[in-house]
Structure 1
Amino acid sequence: MSVFSQDGVSLYFELRGNGPRLVFHPGTLSDLRVHPTVFDSPLARHFEILSFDPRGIGQSNSPDASPTMFDYAQDLKRLMEHIGWQDALFIGESFGGMVLQEFALLYPQAVQRLVLIVTSSGGPGGASFPLHKYDIEAMNVEEKVNFFISAGDSRMPSSNNEQIETALYTPLRNYYKQVCEISINKPEGALCRSRQLQARKGHDTFERLPELRVGTLICGGRYDRIAPFENQKALFQQINESRLGIFEGGHHVLWQDTLIWGFILSFLKLT
């Protein structure tokens, strides 16, 4: 177990593998104890990967009452300095993609290449699904699971998910059930999760994105309700040196369309 602490923030992180340096910033409520993670992906065979639980999530803490995307970007910068990384390749999924937009604008010299997966710019480019408007913490585990599943994939109805094709529904149910159950054991978890959702609500990089001068790959899921295609298109149009790929999946497209890994790997290995 590796933990980095500074100014009251403690971040649980994992560093594994060999090869070029790659940072993977996970999405909303992601917890490295819940699989699959980036370390279960094909990328694990090609890179030295740094991933972590963002402040307040999983085994990390969140002492600030109102953290912003700037704070999350600063957390990553300090963590990189702690392990001695000056630059790296970057992948951000969902909430992680929002943080990495902010990070890349603040620290362009640190970003070799950038991959944004199922994320949004906010502002005129469109916000992601407004999770902050729902009283998620008042739901029981089954209600939370079905809420996240239906919110993230247009192939899922809002009820009777058991009738959906097992190969599609079961992995999503297993993942979210683990996330929801493991979070119960964290006394301050509800407050920390609420803080993350509020930071997500305030995210808006749209007008600044043309300032990015780093090769960027944008990946979306065809059935994603949380970060729909229109949001991916807006990112693509706003970031000058960008490419866009849409794949067969919802918000969990990384684990639903195997073609996406080869697409990402090819982009990261470009010189």
Structure 2
Amino acid sequence: MVAQHLVTRFPNKVNKLVLACTSPGGNNFSSFDLRKIVSSSKNQIESWLQLLDSRYKIPEENLPILNMVKDALHTNTKLFPHLITDGLTRQLEARSGHDCVNSLRDIPHQTLIVGGRYDDIAPLKNLLEMHRLIKNSQLQIFEGGHLFLMQDKQAWPAIISFLVSESDTLKA
């Protein structure tokens, strides 16, 4: 979300743009409002895991990264959603007002939009909308949820390949 605001306000500071597991915001394309998990007192961990990867409750799915996160959440009370600091509260509040829908059309930069197929925090419809709005964008969907960068071994090489390619939007 921060990258979207940065590139629309200071386009000369950016050569290329990667938007990963994010949403353009506004009324129709916001990321899941994480304040709902904070305000719910029951099943916070289960709700969080389900949002991270919509396959979470499918027994036949093998999700080692998500299971690792689950174990960490059950053993460490200093992680979200257990620990809510003032800074996190302010971040969640700011996140709820994020809206770059109308300014994404103005991004001239080569942009790679990446996300996880099973991400319920930044769902596929939001990535598709960003791709539609940013004229010089590519969209790649990976196997995984919000943690697709750890779940799909193809994600990082795709991002690196995009970033090191010769074309530079500002030189074009």
Asked whether the 8 Å contact 1:125–1:206 carries over to 2, the reply is no
SS at match of 1:207: coil
- 1:144 deviation in Å? 3.5
Counterpart code for 1:190: T
1:118 is aligned to 2:18: no
The count of aligned residue pairs is 166
Query: Is the 1:144–1:180 Cα contact (8 Å) retained in structure 2?
Result: no
**C-alpha distance 229-201 of structure 1, shift in aligned 2 (>3 A):** same
Is 1:145 aligned to 2:45, yes or no?
yes
> What letter matches 2:109 in structure 1?
V
Tell me by how many angstroms 1:190 deviates.
2.8
* Cα shift at 1:210: 0.9
- Partner of 2:129, secondary structure, is helix
Cα 1:197/1:258, change in 2 over 3 Å: same
Greater length-normalized contact order (CA 8 Å, ≥ 6 residues apart): 2
**Contiguous gaps of at least 5 residues in structure 1:** 1-97
In 2, Cα distance between equivalents of 1:228 and 1:201: 16
Scaled by the length of structure 2, the TM-score of the pair is 0.83
Which structure has greater strand proportion? 1
CA displacement at 1:162 relative to structure 2: 8.9
Which residue number in structure 1 is paired with residue 156 of structure 2? Answer: 261
**Secondary structure at 1:265's aligned position in 2?**
helix
Give the whole-Å Cα distance in 2 for the aligned partners of 1:104 and 1:178. 39
Aligned pairs for 1:155-166 within 5 A: 155-157=55-57, 165=62
State percent identity of aligned pairs. Answer: 35
TM-score by length of 1: 0.55
**Cα separation, 1, equivalents of 2:129 and 2:136:** 13
Deviations 1:106-129, CA, capped at 9 Å, x for gaps: 111111111111110012651111
Query: Which of 30, 34, 37 matches 1:131?
Result: 34
Give the alignment partner of residue 118 of structure 2, picking from 211, 218, 223: 223
Pair 1:180–1:253, CA change in 2 (3 A): farther
Farther-moved stretch of structure 1 (161-170 vs 101-110): 161-170
Aligned partner of 1:27 in structure 2 is none
Q: Distance in 2 between matches of 1:219 and 1:179?
A: 30
Deviation at 1:179, TM superposition (A): 7.0
SS where residue 66 of structure 2 aligns? helix
Determine if the alignment matches structure 1 residue 167 to structure 2 residue 64: yes
CA deviation after TM superposition for structure 1 residue 269, in Å: 0.2
> Aligned pair in 2 of structure 1 residues 214, 133: CA closer, same or farther (>3 Å)?
same
Structure 1 letter corresponding to 2:32: F
Q: State the SS of the aligned residue for 1:134.
A: helix
Give 1:180 deviation, angstroms: 4.5
CA contact (8 A) 1:121 1:231 kept: yes
1:187-266 equivalent positions in 2, closer than 5 A? 189-266=84-161
Q: Which segments of 5 or more consecutive residues in structure 2 lack a partner in the other structure?
A: 167-172
1:206-264 Cα deviation digits (max 9, x unpaired): 01111111111000111111111111000001011110000100010000000011100
Deviation at 1:152, TM superposition (A): 1.6
Shift of 1:175: 5.0
